[in-house]
Structure 1
């Protein structure tokens, strides 16, 4: 797919409105009950890139980014300031933040992932776009060294160990991450009069699968 491994200006995404979206198909039965089905295994996030634009200089930077991505054609990285770390937003990264797998003596590749828990229910979100130089990995609680013990594929979020972790060994990781997105419109509409009236442009952004 068309994707540029570049981040939308983080200062402009700060304060943006957005979050996860699910798709649920609901059928109302004649007896009053419902049948509900979720065709998506994973949620998709939407944002508004125009909220952070506070000046014409900001707009110029956004337009340049938009043109370089050719509108909706090419994806890019987006920092979701409400959810960009393997730990809590107020926490400090630890190599024990997230369990990403258990060794079986054969598998070398493990996908970065973040778990969202509510009671006994857990949703595991694959992380495909970790931020460079933020990922820390441990094997059975023992911190490992990137480049010596494992490699990180920044384009897919895959941890690749030099040798398969032993059977039963828990693989954990801490990391910062971006959301792969694209613009959800092929045009930007605004004017100097809009800015004078305090009206910001609306520029939708939507998550893409990579």
Structure 2
């Protein structure tokens, strides 16, 4: 799978729309009862970036970016302005032997918790804490996978938390960019979709 760690232009993404999508099949019986079948265990984000293009210069930048990434072919980073920060996120508890931990973000509502794996943290934003005390060395960050790798395994019982910002790995959901320099922002091309890339 081809992917570049380049971020989609922030000034265009700022005006985009979109968010997480789930897949659920609903079967309704003749007496009105229903059964809901969850097809995806994790959400997949979708975005429409057409609304973020506000000038001829931005349109030219979008066309160049689309060509450079060959439409659907090559993935890239995207900043979701509605959800790009995480603070105090538990990423693990030390056991004295494990040295690698995955960045995650937890979404809590009532008694329910949804855990999202973060694979594209933003450079220079990750802070790691042991039992609430910031750790300034002794670990490496893989900004392409979201993995935190300690040189020495955290001691047993140590609570490991993190603050960070992150991007979403996406690709264009079209191989055809129908746009006009004279007609940016009009109804003739108000649907330029991006879709999150989910790893197997």
Q: Provide TM-score, normalisation by structure 2.
A: 0.93
Q: Does 1:163 align with 2:138?
A: no
Aligned with 2:145: secondary structure? coil
Contact 1:26 1:37 in 2 (8 A): yes
2:112 to 100, 115, 121: 121
After superposition, the C-alpha distances for 1:38-80 in whole angstroms (9 at most, x for unaligned) are: 1211101111121111122111100110111100001000000
CA RMSD of superposed structures (Å): 1.7
The equivalent residue for 2:164 is: 175
Match of 2:74 in 1: 74
Whether the 8 Å contact between 2:50 and 2:185 is mirrored in structure 1 is no
Which residue, out of 132, 140, 145, partners 1:151? 140
Total equivalences in the alignment: 199
Q: TM-score when scaled to structure 1?
A: 0.89
Residues in 1 aligned to 2:125 and 2:38: alpha-carbon distance in whole angstroms: 33
Distance 2:189 2:36 in 1: 38
Residue equivalent to 1:6: 6
Question: When you count strand as a share of all residues, which structure comes out higher?
Answer: 2
- The 3 A distance-change label for structure 1 pair 196 and 80 is closer
Per-residue Cα deviation, 1:128-167 (whole angstroms, up to 9, x for no partner): 000001000011222112xx31110111000011111122
Q: What is the alpha-carbon distance in structure 1 between the residues aligned to residue 129 and residue 74 of structure 2?
A: 34
